[in-house]
C-alpha cells in the first residue's frame, strides 16, 4: 500500500497539468473549432492536441522516466513502472459544439495498480481527485457515493460507443430497459465525469462499452475511493485495459448487472 505522502509529488504535478490544460479549454470552447475525424463519428480538435501537449510537457519535465499513455499521441514506454493515463479532453464532441460538459482526465499507475486519479471540469471549476487508500475529494472536500438502495429509485448514466451507428438497436435496448426500471437515465457525453458523478452521488450507476484506459483510469479510482464498486459488465474484476465497465454505489450493483445480463443477447 502506498503512503499518501509518497504520492504527493505526483499529485501536485497532476493538479498543475490539469489546471493548465483546463484553462486552455475554457478559453477556447466558444471558438469555432478546427475539427478532424478519426472515424465516422470520432472527432478530434486542435484543442485536444494542444491540451495534451501541455499535460505531457508537465509530466515529462517532472518525471522523465515515467511512461505515458495519452489519447492523441503514441505511447511513451518510459524506463520506470509508473505510467500516466491522459485524456486531455474527455467529451470532445461536446467541446466541438460549445456544449459546456467536458473534462481533463489524468491518472497514474504503478504497474497495474492505480495510485491517483484526477478529473478536472474547467467549466464548473470542479476537480475530482483520489489517491489510493486516501479517499476521494471534490475541490478538497471528501465525497462519497449515494446510499440509494433500489434500482427504481436510481439515476443512471450511460454512453454510446463510436460504433453506435452500426449497432444502434443493441445499445438502445439497454437504455430502454434502464428507462423502464430506474428513475431516470442520463447520457452526458463524458465518461470521466459520469464516473465522478457516481463517486459524489449525482448518479447512482454508470455503464458503457468500448472505452479506453485514458477514459476510465482516473474516474475508476475516484469511484472506488468514494466507496463505490467498479467491475466489468459481468461483475468480474476490472483491469486497466478493460474496454467496458459498470460503476455503481455498490448497493445496486447486482441489480444493474442483472439488467445488463437480461438484455444482453450478444456483443456488437
Residue span of the structural domain in which 241 resides: 151-263
Q: Which of 142, 169, 204 is the last residue of a domain?
A: 142
pLDDT recorded at residue 244: 92
Q: Which of 94, 123, 142 is the last residue of a domain?
A: 142
pLDDT recorded at residue 34: 74
pLDDT digits (tens, 9 = 90+) for 78-133: 999 999 999 999 999 999 999 999 999 999 999 989 999 999 999 999 999 999 99
As a whole number of angstroms, the distance between CA 15 and CA 59 comes to 11
Residues 73 and 133 in one domain: yes
Cβ partners under 8 Å of residue 74, min gap 6: none
Is 66 strand, coil or helix? coil
Residues 138 and 203 in one domain: no
Q: pTM of the prediction? A: 0.92
Is 38 or 231 the better-scoring residue by pLDDT? 231
For helices 253-263 and 168-181, angle between their N-to-C axes, nearest 10 degrees:
140
pLDDT digits (tens, 9 = 90+) for 125-158: 999 999 999 999 999 999 999 999 999 999 999 9
Residues 43 and 100 in one domain: yes
pLDDT recorded at residue 266: 47
- CA distances to 19, 109, 179, 193, 266 from 14, rounded to whole Å, are 8, 13, 37, 17, 39
pLDDT recorded at residue 175: 87
Q: Which of 142, 172, 191 is the last residue of a domain?
A: 142
As a whole number of angstroms, the distance between CA 210 and CA 225 comes to 23
The total number of structural domains that make up the chain: 2
Separation of CA 210 from chain center: 12
Cβ partners under 8 Å of residue 29, min gap 6: 47, 95, 98, 100, 102, 123
The per-residue b/e assignment along 63-84, b for 16 or more CB within 10 angstroms, e otherwise, is beebbbbbbbeeebebeeebbb
In a domain, 83, yes or no: yes
Tell me the mean pLDDT in the region 67-76.
Answer: 92
- CA distances to 13, 99, 189, 230 from 27, rounded to whole Å, are 21, 14, 20, 34
pLDDT greater than 80 at residue 55 = yes
Residue 164 confidence class, pLDDT cut points 50, 70, 90:
low
- Rg of the chain over all Cα atoms, to the nearest angstrom: 18
Q: In this structure, what C-alpha cell is assigned to residue 112?
A: 497495474
As a whole number of angstroms, the distance between CA 184 and CA 119 comes to 24
Residues 110 and 156 in one domain: no
In CATH, what number is assigned to the domain containing residue 209?
Answer: 3.40.190.80
Which ranges of 72-116 does DSSP label H, i.e. alpha helix? 92-96
In a domain, 268, yes or no: no
Separation of CA 251 from chain center: 21
pLDDT recorded at residue 212: 92
Amino acid at each position: 500500500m502506498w503512503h499518501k505522502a509518497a504520492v504527493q509529488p505526483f499529485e501536485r504535478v497532476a493538479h498543475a497539468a490539469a489546471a493548465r490544460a483546463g484553462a486552455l479549454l475554457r478559453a477556447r470552447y466558444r471558438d469555432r473549432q478546427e475539427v478532424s475525424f478519426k472515424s465516422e463519428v470520432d472527432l478530434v480538435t486542435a484543442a485536444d492536441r494542444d491540451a495534451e501537449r501541455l499535460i505531457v510537457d508537465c509530466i515529462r519535465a517532472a518525471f522523465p522516466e515515467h511512461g505515458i499513455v495519452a489519447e492523441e499521441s503514441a505511447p511513451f514506454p518510459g524506463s520506470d513502472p509508473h505510467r500516466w493515463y491522459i485524456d486531455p479532453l474527455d467529451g470532445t464532441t461536446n467541446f466541438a459544439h460549445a456544449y459546456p460538459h467536458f473534462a481533463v482526465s489524468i491518472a497514474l499507475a504503478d504497474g497495474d495498480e492505480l495510485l491517483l486519479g484526477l478529473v478536472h471540469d474547467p467549466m464548473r471549476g470542479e476537480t475530482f481527485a483520489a489517491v489510493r487508500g486516501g479517499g476521494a475529494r471534490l475541490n478538497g472536500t471528501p465525497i462519497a457515493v449515494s446510499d440509494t438502495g433500489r434500482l427504481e429509485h436510481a439515476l443512471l448514466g450511460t454512453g454510446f460507443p463510436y460504433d453506435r451507428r452500426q449497432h444502434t438497436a443493441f445499445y438502445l435496448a439497454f437504455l430502454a430497459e434502464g428507462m423502464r426500471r430506474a428513475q431516470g437515465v442520463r447520457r452526458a457525453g463524458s465518461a470521466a465525469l459520469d464516473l465522478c458523478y457516481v463517486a459524489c452521488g449525482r448518479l447512482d450507476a454508470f455503464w458503457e462499452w468500448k472505452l479506453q484506459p485514458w477514459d476510465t483510469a482516473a474516474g475508476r479510482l475516484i469511484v472506488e475511493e468514494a466507496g463505490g464498486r467498479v467491475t466489468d459488465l459481468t461483475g468480474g474484476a476490472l483491469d486497466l485495459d478493460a474496454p467496458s465497465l459498470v460503476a455503481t454505489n455498490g448497493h445496486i450493483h447486482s441489480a444493474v448487472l442483472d439488467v445488463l445480463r437480461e438484455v444482453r443477447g450478444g456483443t456488437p
